[in-house]
Structure formats: C-alpha cells, structure tokens
Amino acid sequence: MKLKITFCAVALMAITLAAEASAEAKNYVPHGTTVQRLSEAAGAVVVGKLQRVEDVQLAEVGIDAKRWPSRHDGKSQDGQDNIRRDGVIKVEQVLKGNLAVGTEVHFVSVRQLKFDNYDADLKTESAIWFLHSRPEDNRIAVLVDERGAVSASDVNGNFVAATDFVRDQLAGKNTVDHMLDAIDFQAGRLSVDCALELSWQFESYQGAMTETQRQRILSMAQVSPVGSTERNELVTAIGRYKPEGGLDGLFSIMLNDSNWSTTSLGCWALEEIDRGAAIARLLAEWPNAASDKSRQIVIVRSLGLIRPKAGHDGAQVRTDTLNLVGGLLKSSTDKNLLREALIASRDLRTEQEHVEALKKLIDERDTNGLTDTEIKAAIVALAACRKTIITQTGIAEAVYARTYLEDLAVAEPVLAQVIKPALEFPWTVLIAGADGRGH
C-alpha cells in the first residue's frame, strides 16, 4: 500500500532547480540529466573550451530572441531582435559524433548569453559538452543549457577521471561498481550524478545487481555526510534494491540524522522494505530515545509520515501510535518536539483521540507559554480531527470540533485566518517543524 510518504519522497527527489540572475542551468530534472542520460541523448559529446560568442545577423526576429528576451541586464538571458548569438568551442577531444578533432564547433548560445555572462568556469576551463541537433532548425545546441556542460570545477578538479568515465559510459563499459567508485561524497557533479542514476534509474541495474553491490550501497549510505545529496539518493537506493539488513541500516542512519529529507526518504525506503516491521521498530525505539530529543523528533515525524492504519497495520499499532503522539500534545513538551507531534497528529488522520488535548493547548494559550506558531499548529491539527461519513450522496467528513473552531474564529479574527483554511482542508496548511520549515 502506497501512502502519502511516497508523494513526499518523490516530490523531494524530483525537485526542479532554478537560478534567478546567474548563468546557471534552470528548470531541469536532476535524475533525467545525469551524465549517463546526457551521454545517451547527445548526438555529439566533445571536450573543449568555450572560446567566444559571435553575433549572427538575421533578416528577421529569430526564434532564440523570442524564446530568451533579455532579462536581468542580459545576465540570465539576452535574446536580441535580428541577432542569433552562437558560442564557439575549441574542440580538444571528440568522445561521440563525427566532429573532427581540432576544429571549432558553433552552437546556439545558451539562453543567448554573451561570452561575459557565462559561468566563470566555462570561460576559463575545459568542459565536456553534450550537444544535440535541435529539431526546430537542426542547429547544434547544448542539452539542458549549462547542465549539458561539465567543467573541471564541477567535478572538483578530477577532469581526466570524468572524461574517462564518460568515454567508458559511451562505450557501454560502466558498471554499478564503477558508479559506486565515483561517489566520493564531495558533492561534485559525477558523484551526485552516479548516486542519482542508481536511485532513479534502478530498473536498468536491478536485475544484474549482486548482493555485494547492494551491501556497498548500504555501507556507503551509512557513512555519507549528513544532509548531502549523495545521502538522500543512497537512502532512496536502499529502498530500491532492498539489501539484507537494509531495515537496520536505515534506522542507524535516520536515528542519527534528524534532517527532514533523511527522515522522509528513509520512511519511504522503510515502507518499501517492510512497512510493518518499520512501524514496530519505531514504536519500540521510543523508550530508548527518552533523553534524546533529536531521536524523538525522528520517531514522531516518521510515524506521522508512514501513518499506521488500523485496517492495514492492525488496531493495536494504530492505538499505540495515537497514544504516543497524543502524550506529547501538552505545553510542557519541548517546542520543537511539540510541533512535530502536531504535524503527526494532523497527518495521522485522527478522529476524536486528540481533540481534548488540542483544545487544552488552544484554551490555555494566554498562560501556557506557547507561541503563535504552536497555537496555529494546534488549530490545524484540531481541524484535521474528522470522522468519515458515508451518505447516500457519497463520502463526507465531519469535523469533531467545527463549532468550537468557528466560535473561536468569531472571537479572534486573527486566528480566523488560520481556522478558515484549516477547516476547508487542513493538510494544505503548513505547520513549522523542528527545522523551521513548513510541513
């Protein structure tokens, strides 16, 4: 059974990156633009240095000027009527295609940038360029803007190794071990791309992957830097490939890393391996985390994300989860942990189990020391306390504390700004978690 954590994890992993006023590739999907994917998609792959940008006079307004009208003083894009800007690469090596070594390659300048507005590394360093013939006019262009140019700086100076890697990829020689060897946790392009490739393109590698390789992924995830992209992708890969001991390995990572991304992706991976065992383990870990707020936060957040259900996971598991979270809904709870409990209470789709505790937090707001952040979170969680009713016209939801909340909205118009959207659909109203972000 796929629950909402699947959406959370996928949304996190597939985030589209963008830059405002700098010459950076934007609006790309990372897992779709790894060096492996670009190698396959490119019509030509060359190693070379950007030499200059030339202006080509046109008789009419070109498609590039229309597509990239000048923005940010030309620093992010600089299309100009009746001009097409072409970049020129001095070719050092041809890794794919029929371009002659030593020649210059002209391509349609990325977002019609002038030479000065390219990233510094592309103006001073050799790069691997992934090129294609664009269908509009068959002119050569760079795949996915600068995402299709990998400079020495992008790979932390290991440019020869990166070039060899792409050459091997094009020759069909890259293996899972080769990719794992390239993951060095330095956040370089090749390291990140190999982690992305293994986590997202798993169907290409799953059939031939050995248990030894699965164990390498598990071990590497455990030693990966906290908060790193490589950690996120390797945690995801554990859920994809399910190594022996994966459940224990994920818990060792998650309980020592309270980053929301680690918890979210870790929960998804736990569900992929063994949802029931994961829930039982989370509940069993709670007594051991009594003096560790970070671990408590991870456990509560995880239970809210996985959301044990009586009909699927068992009534006792559901009750134990509701009791654990409900026991934290009091003003004496550490505020960070309380906010995570409020998020979990909302996400657990509770009925009346937490109503009285949430009302108490709200009723005593003038004296219990809670800030507006916690009070508003309690309102959202209370609005989520609902009972599903099947009627002749379909399925409806009855809010247990609707009258209470509507009266509160009348009495305190400031709170009405939270109450009204929470009553409409509480799961779209974000609650600030321990990391200060809305969840």
Summarised one tens digit per residue, pLDDT across range 49-64 is 999 999 999 999 999 9
DSSP symbols for 369-420: ---HHHHHHHHHHHHT-EEEEEETTEEEEEETTHHHHHHHHHH-HHHHHHHH
378: confidence class by pLDDT, cuts 50, 70, 90: very high
Q: Which residues contact 100 (CB under 8 A, 6 or more apart)?
A: 91, 94
Band the pLDDT of 98: cuts 50, 70, 90.
Answer: confident
Q: What backbone torsions phi and psi does residue 130 show, to the nearest 5 degrees?
A: -100, 115
Amino acid residing at 23:
A
CA distances from 114 to 72, 91, 120, 152, 176 (A): 13, 20, 12, 21, 40
User: Which top CATH class is 30-169?
Assistant: mainly beta
The pLDDT tens digits for 289-316 are 988 999 999 999 999 999 999 999 999 9
At residue 3 the predicted structure's pLDDT band, cuts being 50, 70 and 90, is very low
pLDDT at 268 over 60: yes
Higher per-residue pLDDT: 396 or 120: 120
Q: Domain-by-domain residue ranges, the chain? A: 30-169, 333-439
pLDDT class for 100, splitting at 50, 70, 90?
low
How far apart (Å, rounded) are the C-alpha atoms in residues 170 and 148? Answer: 15
3-state SS assignment for residue 197 = helix
Is residue 397 very low, low, confident or very high in pLDDT (cuts 50, 70, 90)?
A: confident
**DSSP string covering 212-261, please?**
HHHHHHHHHHHHSPTT-HHHHHHHHHHHHH--TTHHHHHHHHHTT---HH
Residues β-bridged to residue 398: 387
17 pLDDT higher than 80: no
Residue 8 has pLDDT above 80, yes or no: no
List, in sequence order, every beta strand (DSSP E) within 74-204.
Answer: 83-96, 104-108, 126-133, 140-142, 149-151
pLDDT of 390 above 60: yes
Q: How far apart are CA 63 and CA 65, in angstroms?
A: 6
**Interatomic CA distance for residues 98 and 409, integer angstroms:** 70
Lowest mean pLDDT among 177-186, 210-219, 282-291, 393-402: 393-402
Bridge partners of residue 79, in order along the sequence: 69
Exposure pattern of 94-120 as b/e (b: 16+ CB <10 Å)?
Answer: bbbeebeeeeebebbbbbbbbbebbbe
- For position 101, what pLDDT does the model report? 52
pLDDT of residue 173: 87
Residue range 285-290: mean pLDDT, rounded:
94
CA dist 92 and 105 (Å) reads 11
Half-sphere exposure of 156 (CA within 13 A, CB side): 11
Output the pLDDT for position 27. 78
* Share of residues in the chain with pLDDT > 70 (%): 92
For the stretch 59-66, contacts whose Cβ atoms lie closer than 8 Å and that sit 24 or more positions apart, written own/partner, are: 63/136, 63/137, 64/108, 64/109, 64/112, 65/112
- Helix or strand or coil: residue 68? coil
pLDDT for residue 174: 78
Q: What is the CA radius of gyration of the chain?
A: 27
- Which amino acid, one-letter code, is at 373? T
Q: Is the pLDDT score of 2 beyond 50?
A: no
Place of tokens 């070109």: 62
CB 168 within 8 A of CB 200: no
CB 311 within 8 A of CB 407: no
Question: pLDDT at position 315, please?
Answer: 95
Percent of the chain with pLDDT over 90: 88
Tell me which DSSP letter residue 205 carries. T
What local confidence, expressed as pLDDT, does residue 304 receive?
97
**DSSP β-ladder status, 140-142 and 394-399:** unpaired
- Which H or E run contains 55? strand 44-57
Average pLDDT, integer, range 239-247 = 98
Q: In sequence order, what are the residues at sequence separation of 6 or more whose Cβ sits closer than 8 angstroms to the Cβ of residue 271?
A: 2, 3, 5, 6, 239, 278, 306
Whether the per-residue pLDDT at 14 is higher than 70: the answer is no
